[in-house]
């Protein structure tokens, strides 16, 4: 296989391969979405739908790029602590807002917790 050097990274040999694959695939996809694809600007408000591996990467990338309000959206309340650890500033559980569209919940979200 031939791959451009921009898509490679050195992995510490002491890291469990299961953890390395978590970082190399889903997380980097989400991180790249914030960093390279959408090019989040400093001071931006960002909403991330789903706080799995890809969403966690998107939150981390948005934080690195200077996003000031980073809203995580998920139906699983257990994802809140993980989202906070990656830089999420607000959380919306869409099950708690079934009376309105997700976009309206984002608009109504407070500035900070």
What gap in Å lies between CA 17 and CA 11, rounded to an integer? Answer: 9
Residue 2 belongs to some domain of the structure? no
Q: CATH code at 58?
A: 3.40.50.720
Supply the range of the domain harboring residue 86: 16-108
Asked whether residue 4 is domain-assigned, the answer is no
Predicted model pTM:
0.78
- End-to-end alpha carbon distance in the chain: 47
**Residue 66 located in a structural domain:** yes
Q: Which two tokens stand for residue 49?
A: 């739908």
CB-based contacts of 70, cutoff 8 Å, min separation 6 = 45, 46, 48, 59, 62, 63, 87, 88, 89, 90
Q: Is the separation of the CB atoms in 60 and 31 below 8 Å?
A: yes
9, part of any domain: no
Kindly tell me the number of DSSP H helices and DSSP E strands found in the chain.
Answer: 5, 3
Assigned domain for 11 exists: no
| Cα separation values, 42 from 38, 72, 88, Å | 12, 18, 15
Residue 7 placed within a domain: no
* Chain centre to alpha carbon of residue 110: 19
Task: Specify the pLDDT at position 23.
Answer: 64
Each residue's pLDDT expressed in tens, for the chain with a length of 113 residues: 787 777 677 778 888 877 776 666 788 899 999 999 999 999 999 999 999 999 999 999 999 999 999 999 999 999 999 999 999 999 999 898 888 888 888 888 876 55
Q: Would residue 113 count as lying in a domain? A: no
Total domains, the chain: 1
Is residue 74, in this structure, part of any structural domain at all?
Answer: yes
């Amino acid at each position: 296989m031939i791959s451009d050097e921009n898509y490679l990274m050195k992995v510490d040999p002491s890291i469990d391969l299961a953890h390395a694959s978590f970082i190399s695939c889903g997380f980097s996809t989400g991180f790249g979405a914030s960093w390279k694809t959408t090019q989040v600007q400093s001071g931006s408000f960002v909403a991330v739908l789903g706080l799995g591996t890809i969403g966690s990467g998107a939150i981390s990338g948005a934080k690195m790029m200077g996003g000031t309000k980073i809203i995580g959206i998920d139906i699983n309340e257990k994802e809140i602590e993980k989202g906070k650890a990656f830089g999420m500033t607000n959380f919306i559980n869409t099950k708690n807002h079934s009376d309105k569209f997700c976009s309206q919940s984002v608009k109504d979200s407070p500035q900070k917790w």
